[in-house]
Structure 1
Amino acid sequence: MPHFDASSPRPPREKIFNAPFLPLLIAASMPVLFFFQERLPDQGLSMAFRPADMWRGEWGGLFTSMLLHGGWPHVAMNAIGALAFGAPVARMLERGVGPLIFVLFYIVSGALAALGYGLLHPYSVDPLVGASGAVFGLIGAATRLMGGHGRVLPLLHPTVLKASAAWMAVNLIVGLIGLAPGAEGARIAWEAHAIGFVFGLLTVGVLARGSNARA
């Protein structure tokens, strides 16, 4: 029978849930924000992004639309995505100014995704809501981190190419057929997802170098 010395220090327990703080904060903020959105007189639609607004000089929706969602399934999908794919990106950017870069990257991904959608549909007055463009930015960045053991894989690495093709195929199918949870007949802005993904895919190496992470 083994003998245990009560005076010896116990080994540290492994954390059951070890997600980085920033992706966890972003994911947790989504249901909280949607809770309040549902209680607004206009359901938050005044903060949505409408491409036609750009030509009137109204650009705030590029950013505020990321704070809104179309329903609880939409919230859940984006929260899970932000947590799952934001984690490897946040771990890469954990040193120095990395956390600030992570936050800016998330915001810029979402804004550029909405802007790209607006340029493709310049006269649309349909409201665009959701953080999916920002989340797809994280997915694009994470695509070049998976399998790289902390390093950013080359853009043309076979793993990156296969994963990118798979993501774009799923995105196109979901967008054209409308299979996304919580869509409820609304048009899915698959173009914004694609733009966010490509932005993350192309810039993750620059992010790594800018934060002194391994690229």
Structure 2
Amino acid sequence: MSWSLALTANLEVSLAGFSERLKAAHIPHRISEARGEQQVWVADEPTAALVRELYQAFLANPDPGFTAVNAISKPISQPLWQKLRRFPAVITILLLTLAVALWTQLGTSLAAVAQLSFNAIIFEGDEAYLVSLAYSLEQGQWWRLITPMLLHFGWLHLAMNSLWFWELGRRIELHQGSWFVLVFTLVGALVSNVSQFWFSGPALFGGLSGVLYALLGFCWIYQRINPVAAYNLPKGVVGMMLVWLVLCLVGVVSAMGFGQIANAAHVSGLVLGCVAGAVMGVLNKLKVSE
């Protein structure tokens, strides 16, 4: 297999403790000596980036109780812009989502929402009507298959989705790369939006939650097949999200006053994420074992 160089260290530096942390995090690696220095090699560049972060955390806190698995949630102190530049895909999507929220006035400007909704909207006086999807596609408005993910209705809706996208998206971008996150987000939006339309018919819906369940499913199943530190979610996160999904499906959340829930988008997103996580987990596990 082709190995990627993660970091180098002087010969007098003991990497034994750090190697144990990598083993505990299920990160395959090897340490060699060349040109008077130690070299830590891993399977690919995304993993190398994670190992570099974990090594900095190791140097900042060599306490044996501070494990590599927890290091991703305890990053070393560094300027905010340096942290953000490591996740260009996640930051770009979040900024675009925020811009759309401001433009649509959090969904209260129906004229702005109509430009990005799954079904186009026409206005006749005080009345508004949803246009058929077929007509919109005939007009070349293919963006409508994706853009509902950018629509949010209220600050709570926006804040919760943005926080979860940051938490899950950055983990995947760290390990799989920026292009993977971007493409997977678009595919997740497409699958969840089309599923919701197929299930509910013409309706006004939006939000990143379908994509979030795709990201959650990816991390969950990938970690079970090919454990890596990046996808080791805090205990209870998967269970909480699945319980929330069930509460939405049985109507409890809507009864609590949270409005109509796009259940088909959530379920289809989760299924997509689980399948993608299984495929990528198996492929990367086979790659490392070669």
Does the pair score TM above 0.5? yes
- Mapping for residues 23-42 of structure 1, pairs under 5 Å: 23-38=90-105, 42=111
Aligned partners of 2:220 and 2:231 also within 8 Å: no
SS state at 1:178 partner: helix
Aligned residues: CA RMSD: 3.7
Could you tell me the percent identity over the aligned residues?
Answer: 17
Alignment match of 1:54 (pick from 129, 133, 148): 133
Number of aligned residue pairs: give it: 189
Larger proportion of strand: 2
Distance in 1, Cα, partners of 2:230 & 2:159: 29
Corresponding position of 2:253: 178
Tell me how far 1:81 sits from its aligned partner. Answer: 0.9
Tell me how far 1:133 sits from its aligned partner. Answer: 1.2
Corresponding position of 2:32: none
Alignment match of 1:85 (pick from 146, 151, 168): 168
Distance 1:73 1:105, change over 3 A: same
Tell me how far 1:64 sits from its aligned partner. Answer: 1.6
Distance 1:115 1:52, change over 3 A: farther
Distance in 1, Cα, partners of 2:287 & 2:97: 28
Distance 1:139 1:191, change over 3 A: same
Distance in 2, Cα, partners of 1:113 & 1:214: 32
Name the larger-Rg structure: 2
Alignment match of 2:228 (pick from 149, 156, 175): 149
Distance in 2, Cα, partners of 1:152 & 1:203: 14
**Aligned-partner residue type, residue 136 of structure 1:** Y
Distance 1:66 1:110, change over 3 A: same
Corresponding position of 1:191: 264
Distance 1:49 1:81, change over 3 A: same
Alignment match of 1:118 (pick from 197, 209, 228): 197
Corresponding position of 2:77: 15
Distance 1:196 1:169, change over 3 A: same
SS state at 1:119 partner: helix
Distance 1:214 1:93, change over 3 A: farther
Aligned pair 1:204/2:204, yes or no?
no
Which is bigger in relative contact order (C-alpha 8 A, separation at least 6)? 1
Unaligned runs of 5+ in 1: 1-10, 154-158
Tell me how far 1:105 sits from its aligned partner. Answer: 0.6
TM-score (norm 2): 0.54
Per-residue CA deviations over 1:124-159 (Å, capped at 9, x if unaligned) read: 332111121112211111213457225889xxxxx9
Corresponding position of 1:138: 215
Per-residue CA deviations over 1:145-202 (Å, capped at 9, x if unaligned) read: 457225889xxxxx9xx9766533321203522269xx96531102211111110111
Per-residue CA deviations over 1:87-133 (Å, capped at 9, x if unaligned) read: 22111213xxxx22221111100110111112222xx3321111211
Unaligned runs of 5+ in 2: 1-58, 61-74, 120-129
Distance 1:185 1:170, change over 3 A: closer
